[in-house]
Amino acid sequence: MKTLCIGEILWDIFPDHKVWGGAPANFIFHTAQLGADATAYSAIGNDQLGTELSGAIKSCGINLLAEANEYSTGKVDILIDDEGHAQYQFNDNCSWDYIAFTPELQRLSSEADLIVFGSLAQRHEQSRVTIYRALTHKKPSAKVLFDINLRQDFYNTEIIEASLKACDFLKLNEDELPIIEQLLDITLGAIIERYQLELVIFTLGAEGSRIISKDAVSDQPAVKCKVVDTVGAGDSFTASFIINYLRGMTIPKSQELASEIAAFVCTQKGATVELPILLKQKMEYV
């Protein structure tokens, strides 16, 4: 399976260390761990952070295509509260705001089985245009996942509606749902019907997850764990769920295994953590 993410790659800056990340990159990292041919398409700055970011991502088994441009490499300052929940502050006008469309991206889009994008990378026009142009080249059998991933004020009604029209799968969490329902002035059920979504992946933090398909709703409790931080937990859940679902696993089983992976990520610092071999073996793809 070929997976492609188009969007932000950046440094997560914690008080005592930094880890590479960005929601699309976090997602694609976990698809690579589960056996996918994974590619991240973005942009980095022509600076030291960009050089370090490129090296770190490529060492994780991800095919990184990120042209260096004149803007600074993306970074986000992260503060973790006493319960392990994160608050984010992004730098603006950075390299991934200016992702260029290239013949290589056209080729990647035409070959991908799953294309992933979010709302954050659409805050500037150039990257937004690149994402939608790439989607016009996808093959008929390809699936598209939109991870809403609302951050600060980097979204609006136009961006959300265009993204919903372009996707098959929608991922959102319990904090994002009321914002989206208010923004569009319709319920989640109406969103599913209006935009003909195949699946909604709804994460509920400590309460677990809900998968909504055309025919059924599947609820699963969260796997209990000692939380270090929640950064990237939703990305890991979504990646493992979708990979297993697209490979033919049932929704409840895919959801159960995704919950285990998300719980493990919560016990670690940062989003891009190596999964233990026992978890990978449960996926039957090692």
Question: What separation in angstroms does the CA of 272 have from each of 50, 52, 211, 231?
Answer: 17, 15, 24, 9
CATH (domain of 188) = 3.40.1190.20
Q: What is the mean pLDDT of the chain?
A: 90
Residue 2 lies in a domain: no
Beta strands 75-80 and 10-13: pairing type? parallel
Q: pLDDT tens digits, residue range 20-74?
A: 888 888 898 889 988 899 999 999 999 999 999 998 888 887 889 999 999 999 9
Host domain of residue 22: 8-282
Residue 203 lies in a domain: yes
2-6 sheet: strands from edge to edge? 63-69, 37-45, 2-6, 114-118, 143-147, 169-173, 199-203, 209-213, 217-220
Residue 3 lies in a domain: no
Q: Is pLDDT of 87 > 60?
A: yes
pLDDT level of residue 147 (50, 70, 90 thresholds): very high
Q: How many domains does the chain have?
A: 1
Residue 85 lies in a domain: yes
The phi, psi pair for 110, rounded to 5°, reads -75, -20
pLDDT of residue 271: 65
Residue 1 lies in a domain: no
* Closest CA relative to residue 2, chosen from 137, 96, 113: 113
Q: pLDDT tens digits, residue range 199-213?
A: 999 999 889 999 999
Residue 271 lies in a domain: yes
Q: Is pLDDT of 286 > 70?
A: no
pLDDT of residue 114: 98
Residue 149 lies in a domain: yes
Q: Find the radius of gyration of the CA atoms of the chain.
A: 17
Higher pLDDT, 265 or 5: 5
Residue 148 lies in a domain: yes
* Closest CA relative to residue 259, chosen from 223, 284, 234, 216: 223
Is the Cβ–Cβ distance between 230 and 204 less than 8 Å?
A: no
d(CA 271, CA 232) in angstroms, rounded, equals: 4
Q: Which of 25-34, 91-100, 176-185 has the lowest mean pLDDT?
A: 25-34
pLDDT of residue 124: 95
pLDDT of residue 188: 94
